[in-house]
Amino acid sequence: MGHFKQLTMSHYLGIDIGGTNVEFGIVDDNGEILYSSSVPTNAYGTVEELAQEIFDKVKSGFKGDFEAIGIGAPSVNLETQQIEYAPNLQWGDVIPIKDIFSDLFKKDVFVANDANAYALGIKVFGEGKDLDNFAVVTLGTGVGLGTYINGSIVVGANGLAGEIGHFVVRQAGRECKCGNMGCLEGYVGAAGIVATAKEKLEFSSGGSLLNDFQPSDISPLEVFNSARKEDPVALEVVDSVCHDLGYALSSLINLLDIQNIFLAGGITNSGNILKRKTEKHLKNYTLPNLRNRINLKISTLNQNGGGILGAAALIKASNPVLK
């Protein structure tokens, strides 16, 4: 019977809840995504409605069964398995995410911070298989951090570690949705990048590619793509974004001696400009004896449904039977 279990491929449902979209899919033991879909996060007034939509889509789109559900989401308390006070979600202050999905699907559910799940995805399915120390920074609507040190994810006393998006990079800066001022997310998150672009355009002479867009149509990816074309305003914006990101990452490196850092999320699809400029600023703030040991990379998992794979990896990491 045990031999038969080794030959049988297990399947898992991975769900990645972001501030803009929810991506989900069925993943096998090899990290192949057999089915995937996505829905807009704000299209659902409650998590119960979202769970029902995912249930219906998976039931119609994937004809097999699956072992369990992994969910990566922002602001997860690992101990309670609840989402608590997530600034970019509109479903209330405390969301019993595990109970909602387990009651509907009748499956075991494992929930973790989305960036921690992504880090596990890199460890289980990606370029971190042979690494015992690394970090991943997820760049999207919010900014998250998953840190893998000495063979374990760093979760903190309350399971809430990794909120690098709320590391203050500018005292008395922009107001953040968390209630603080000057948070990294306010400058490096999607809305923050767009806000900086609009500020720069307001004082520009009008010779920017970004002026071809309606203000509501400017996106972080358009800013980075324009910067790659040497647009002066876009280059200013990107340099500002990369400066703040590099500054925050330097503190992480100086504190924890993290050598390998992976960047993931939408703007990492813009090519090498993000890595190159962030690395330049990062090294300016890093201790001299660590400066030349930093290995900053764009995660390859980013091109292959990284959030879904991370959520699926969470199941394997949480359940000793599946390891």
Q: What is the CATH number of domain 2-114+304-318?
A: 3.30.420.40
Return the H-helix or E-strand segment holding 6. Answer: helix 2-7
pLDDT at res. 319: 55
| pLDDT tens string 179-216 | 999 999 999 999 999 999 999 999 888 789 999 999 89
pLDDT bin (cut points 50, 70, 90) of residue 8 is low
If DSSP codes are grouped into helix, strand and coil, which group holds residue 72?
strand
Left if phi > 0, otherwise alpha if psi is -120 to 50, otherwise beta: which for 316? alpha
Q: In whole angstroms, what is the distance from residue 70 CA to residue 24 CA?
A: 10
The two three-digit tokens of residue 1, written as one number: 């019977």
Second CATH level (architecture) for the domain 128-298: 2-Layer Sandwich (3.30)
Tell me the per-residue pLDDT of 17-39, one tens digit each, with 9 for 90 and over. Answer: 999 999 999 999 999 999 999 99
What integer best gives the mean pLDDT of the chain? 92
Question: Using an 8 Å Cβ cutoff, are 46 and 90 in contact?
Answer: no
On whether the pTM is more than 0.75, the answer is: yes
Query: Within the chain, which residue ranges are assigned CATH 3.30.420.40?
Result: 2-114+304-318, 128-298
Helices assigned H by DSSP within 68-189: 97-105, 114-125, 185-188
H or E element: which one contains 199? helix 190-202
The CA distance from 315 to 312, in Å, is 5
Task: Give the pLDDT confidence of 53-102 residue by residue, as tens digits.
Answer: 999 999 999 999 999 999 999 999 988 999 999 999 999 999 999 999 99
Residue 20, helix vs strand vs coil: coil
Burial of residue 218 (CB within 10 Å: 0-12, 13-18, 19+) is buried
Question: Whole-angstrom Cα distance, residue 294 to residue 279?
Answer: 9
Percent of the chain with pLDDT over 90: 86
**Band of residue 277 on the pLDDT scale cut at 50, 70, 90:** very high
